[in-house]
Homo-oligomer: A and B are copies of this chain.
Amino acid sequence: MRIGVLCSGGDSPGMNAAIRGAVLRGVEVHGFEMVGFMDGWRGFHDGDTVPLDRLAVRGISPLGGVMLGTSRVPPFPDGVATPEALAAVRARMTELGIDAFLLIGGNGTQTVAQMLDDAGIPVVGVPKTIDNDLGGTDYTFGFDTAVSVAAEAIDRLRTTGESHRRCMVLEVMGRDAGWIALHAGMAGGAQLILLPEFPESVEQICEWVLSVRDRGRSSLVVVAEGFRPAGEADVVTRAGLDGFGRPRLGGVAEVLAPRIEERTGIETRATVLGHVQRGGSPTAFDRVLATRTGIAAADAANDGAWGTMAGLHGDRVELVPLEEAVGALKTVPAARYEEARLSFG
């Protein structure tokens, strides 16, 4: 069997470890032939491939980014799986001698995986997103690294905030789901955590900041990029459009900081952490999760368990049907937010 591997969407620390796990297991144990497509579907369309064997994946687990590159190039014209588009995919598979796909990606990519599976094209999914907003798995690799980077930033910002008696606002990634903000905020002991799922008014935020000051402390506010103040969903930030033509979200910290300063009289500074959250060497947790996920995906291919995705459940990596993973985003439940807010607010 000859399996094509590709990564699609934003990068996520652990992608190299996942590829390595899949290749060592697939090639050395199951006897597959494996090839990688460069830059996601771009490499598939252009026939830009690299052979994946033991040598190709040597020593790549600790490396950030992904050896194959990634892109947002869609598999189908206009992103729609028309019969013609699927026929074109099949023709290209024959041309390249590919029997099955191993697709590493987030919600968008696993939705594509399901479309291919629906059309009878053999595919296995490997979940990947720093945002942790994918169903069917407790955590996605990349998330722990992003949380670690954000928590370290909190540790650093806090000391500056307390030395200067300032309110520090840190913006972390999270367009629709606030997992990074929730975990990093809890790890760093943030006084305030603001999530896309739970809008709060600027007035309420300022009240909290003042009550923290009254306890003799400086506020460290962690805000997910997708948070919008209650009643101000259309607030405009400095960011432009992203690769999908959607308004980019970055910059809400820069909107909040001056408003907090003005209303509370407390000097306030914004930091937008940005891309440093999604690059660089993965944490040990993410390397292990990614490696095990890659291994499980190779085993799934060997067992013909097409249409599944390898997910973490407790301390086990298990296959779940793709439909469990895609569809609704996994957002932060109210109980988790209350847990954080009640205890630390």
Partner-B contacts on A (CB < 8 A): 10-11, 15, 20-21, 24-25, 28-29, 39, 54, 58-59, 61-66, 69-71, 138-139, 144, 147-153, 155-165, 168, 183-184, 186-189, 215, 217, 238, 240, 243, 254, 258, 267, 269-276, 278-281, 283-285, 287-288, 291-292, 295, 313-315, 339, 342-344
Which of these, B138, B168, B280, contacts A314 with CB under 8 Å?
Answer: B138
- B65 near A288 (CB under 8 angstroms)? no
Q: Is the CB of A24 within 8 A of B343?
A: yes
User: How far is A284 from B168 in the complex, measured between Cα atoms in Å?
Assistant: 19
Inter-chain contact B279/A275, CB cutoff 8 Å: no
Evaluate contact between B62 and A139: CB separation under 8 angstroms.
no
**Is the pair A163, B238 in contact by a Cβ cutoff of 8 Å?**
no
Q: Could you tell me if A284 and B148 are in contact, using CB atoms closer than 8 angstroms?
A: yes
> Can you name 8 extra interface pairs (CB under 8 A) apart from A64-B156, A271-B274?
A59-B189, A63-B159, A69-B163, A139-B315, A157-B276, A157-B280, A187-B287, A285-B285
> A164: which of B11, B158, B188 is its contact (CB, 8 Å)?
B11
Evaluate contact between A147 and B285: CB separation under 8 angstroms.
Answer: yes
Q: How far, in whole Å, are A125 and B132 apart by their CA atoms in the complex?
A: 29
Is B69 in contact with A164, judged by CB distance below 8 angstroms? yes
Find A288's partner among B183, B238, B240, B288 (CB 8 Å cutoff).
Answer: B183
Whether A165 contacts B275 by the Cβ 8 Å rule is: no
Chain B residues contacting A314 (CB-CB under 8 Å) are 138, 313-314
How far in angstroms is the closest Cβ of chain B from A340?
A: 9
26 A-B pairs whose Cβ atoms sit less than 8 Å apart in the complex = A11-B159, A25-B343, A28-B343, A54-B215, A59-B189, A62-B188, A62-B189, A64-B158, A69-B165, A70-B163, A70-B164, A138-B314, A148-B284, A151-B287, A152-B280, A159-B279, A160-B278, A160-B279, A168-B275, A184-B284, A186-B292, A238-B254, A271-B272, A271-B276, A283-B283, A295-B343
- Using A69-B165, A165-B69, A314-B313 as known contacts, say yes or no to A186 and B287 having CB atoms under 8 A apart: yes
Cβ 8 A contact of A283, one of B148, B274, B342: B148
Nearest CB on B from A107, distance (A)? 18
Residue numbers in B under 8 Å from A39 (CB-CB): 165
> How many Å lie between the Cα of A183 and that of B315 in the bound state?
12
Question: Please, which residue of chain B has its CB at the minimum distance from the CB of A28?
Answer: B343
Contact B272 A272 (CB under 8 A): yes
In the complex, the answer to whether A160 meets B62 with C-beta atoms within 8 Å is no
- How far, in angstroms, from A157 to B13 measured CA to CA in the complex? 12
| Neighbouring B residues of A66 by C-beta, 8 Å | 163
Flag if A271 contacts B280 (CB, 8 Å): no
A273 CB contacts on chain B under 8 angstroms: 276
A186 touches B156 (CB 8 A): no
CA distance A144 to B32 in the complex (A): 33
What is the CA–CA distance of A65 and B159 in the complex, to the nearest angstrom? 4
Q: Which of B162, B243, B276 sits near A65, CB closer than 8 Å? A: B162
Which residues of chain B are within 8 angstroms of A217 by Cβ–Cβ distance? 58
Q: Residues of B contacting A339 with CB < 8 Å? A: 292, 295
Give A216 Cβ to nearest chain B Cβ, in Å. Answer: 9
**Inter-chain contacts of A157 with B (CB < 8 A):** 275-276, 279-280
